Structure 1
Amino acid sequence: MILESDASDEDVAAALECGADALLLRLGPCAEDAARRGVRARACALINEARGKSAAPKLFVEVAALDSELIEADLDALFGPGPDGVFLPSCDGAASLQRMAVKLAVREAQAGRADGATRIGAFAGGDPAAVLALHSLAGASPRLAALAFDEAGLRAALGLAEGNGAAVQMARGAVVIAAASAGVPALAPPAQPGETQAYAAARRDGFRGAMALFPGEIAAIHEVFPRSENRQRPQSSA
């Protein structure tokens, strides 16, 4: 489940108890200011809180893009407690994963965490170049945990307001194939409110899970993507 940076305390509490396999915490607008520093601190507090709950979901944090000056500050702040994983806002192929893996390895060593303990999730297929680079992800890093199709990003890049045109469908399939080749789940985009049939369509397309924006969607996702099918794989819903 995706948890936005401005989520209320009530929203955070509901997210922790909603039954999602993982929470994706977003740090908000990319600006080094008091707001972002506050969200980083809140993320660290949430990581510590979740570690005290036996059935808490895995916690991933969406950090700044690799080419942003904020990435170092984001990672430095998070490796007080250390999240279960980080999420790349965009993945441009193997080089993106490998650059992030190096950054994580350095901070794991500094924090005394096991090498490879921090997994990497990534939004994939968000622009034409990213779609074409998907083939390089197989074997790029053992830290890779999941690929989430960035359909909204691709639509924006192509100037598409609506409709499932050929380019969107091709990219959707490419993300599924790339994830399967890399041995990780492909996660479908969040469904629009009331359109839970989108999860069944995602399963037919080969997705192994789906992202959600609201706690009430988790039960519908697990009905289509049972947890029992993913016991030997990384967790499949966020």
Structure 2
Amino acid sequence: MMRLRSLLFVPGDRPDRMAKAMGVGADALILDLEDAVAPEAKPAARAAVAAFLAAPRDPAVRLFVRINPIDGPLATDDLAAIADARPDGIVLPKAEGLVSLHALAARGLTHIPVLPIATETPAAIFKLGEYAGASVPLAGLTWGAEDLPAAIGATAAREADGGYTTPYQLARSLTLFGAHAAGVAAIETVYPDFRDLDGLAAYAARGRRDGFTGMMAIHPAQVPVINAAFTPSADELTRAQAIVDLFAANPGAGALQLDGRMVDAPHLKAAQTLLARAAG
């Protein structure tokens, strides 16, 4: 499984920014052919993204491409431009479960992992449990709180304090559970105020607390904050290893004590997961 703590959006028509973004520490770049590119600039963006993918690069930084919606007229040209360059992943906007994945597979793209943005239409909300049955490889599952309110005529997705309103809390939660049901990375959505790094740190910390494993970014300054939030601390790793070692030394035990606290099978599973992610 690829390491995906931070995924930084970069406009597909800005090759200068792509080159700079390789050095900011993101685990992945999302080279954007959709919302960040004006219609008249899309042909040039496709060419720029294809050239960037084909050039020598640091394999430690994964390169994803966000195409245009698979049921629209632009996706065919997007896929034709990038297919031979073999990106590390395709970000699929306006995804609506298996029907969208099947449409992508029908274009011959069954070998590139897909990261669906899985909450951008009303119909998508009812498809979030389908990804566990995907026949194409998934890099993860993520969500967004911008397109969905626009699609239903909502005036906002957030309260005055920045927290999500109830409908979008639901979309976030279903994405989280849908990702884990499918056994793939659960990627938190962007934090729009790129100047508010303290707010970002708190937001990312809540994401990790709730079970997200990484987060998308819209500005390079956000990347170190996100990486820190989704990187286990030394103390966390030490405790996780202690739990694993304790159960290894007591095979068959259902519950044990560690530092005066009871630990059982869920604690062991969480410790194993934490160590596996840190190793990945």
Q: TM-score w.r.t. structure 1 length?
A: 0.83
State the distance in 1 between where 2:20 and 2:38 align: 29
Matched, 1:7 2:14: yes
Matched, 1:223 2:220: no
3-state SS of 2:175 partner:
helix
Superposition pairs of residues 199-218 of structure 1, within 5 angstroms: 199-218=204-223
Residue 41 of structure 1 aligns to which amino acid in structure 2?
A
Greater mean alpha carbon deviation, residues 151-160 or residues 28-37: 28-37
3-state SS of 1:177 partner:
helix
Residue matched to 1:85: 89
CA shift for structure 1 position 28: 4.0
Residue matched to 1:143: 137
3-state SS of 2:177 partner:
helix
Matched, 1:58 2:105: no
User: Among the aligned pairs, what percent are the same residue?
Assistant: 31
Over aligned residues, Cα RMSD in angstroms? Answer: 2.4
Residue matched to 1:186: 186
Check 1:33–1:169 CA distance in 2 against 1; reply closer, same or farther (3 A cut): closer
Residue matched to 2:80: 76
Residue 23 of structure 1 aligns to which amino acid in structure 2?
L
Greater mean alpha carbon deviation, residues 149-158 or residues 36-45: 149-158
Residue 83 of structure 1 aligns to which amino acid in structure 2?
P
For residues 105-124 of structure 1, give each alpha carbon's deviation from its aligned partner in whole angstroms, at most 9, with x where no partner exists.
4xxxxxxxxxx531111111
Residue matched to 2:103: 99
CA shift for structure 1 position 56: 4.4
State the distance in 2 between where 1:34 and 1:171 align: 33
Given that 1:30 and 1:70 are in contact with CA atoms closer than 8 Å, whether structure 2 keeps it comes out as no
Structure whose alpha-carbon radius of gyration is higher: 2
Residue matched to 1:170: 170
Check 1:104–1:86 CA distance in 2 against 1; reply closer, same or farther (3 A cut): farther
Selected match of 2:111 from 108, 117, 123: 117
CA shift for structure 1 position 8: 6.0
Give the total of aligned pairs.
220
State the distance in 1 between where 2:106 and 2:230 align: 33
Matched, 1:160 2:155: yes
Residue 213 of structure 1 aligns to which amino acid in structure 2?
I
CA shift for structure 1 position 187: 1.0
Given that 2:33 and 2:46 are in contact with CA atoms closer than 8 Å, whether structure 1 keeps it comes out as yes
CA shift for structure 1 position 230: 2.9
CA shift for structure 1 position 77: 1.2
State the distance in 2 between where 1:31 and 1:210 align: 22
Residue 20 of structure 1 aligns to which amino acid in structure 2?
A
Check 1:23–1:134 CA distance in 2 against 1; reply closer, same or farther (3 A cut): same
State the distance in 2 between where 1:53 and 1:119 align: 19
CA shift for structure 1 position 34: 5.6
Greater mean alpha carbon deviation, residues 222-231 or residues 26-35: 26-35
Selected match of 2:122 from 105, 128, 139: 128
State the distance in 2 between where 1:21 and 1:31 align: 23
Residue 11 of structure 2 aligns to which amino acid in structure 1?
E
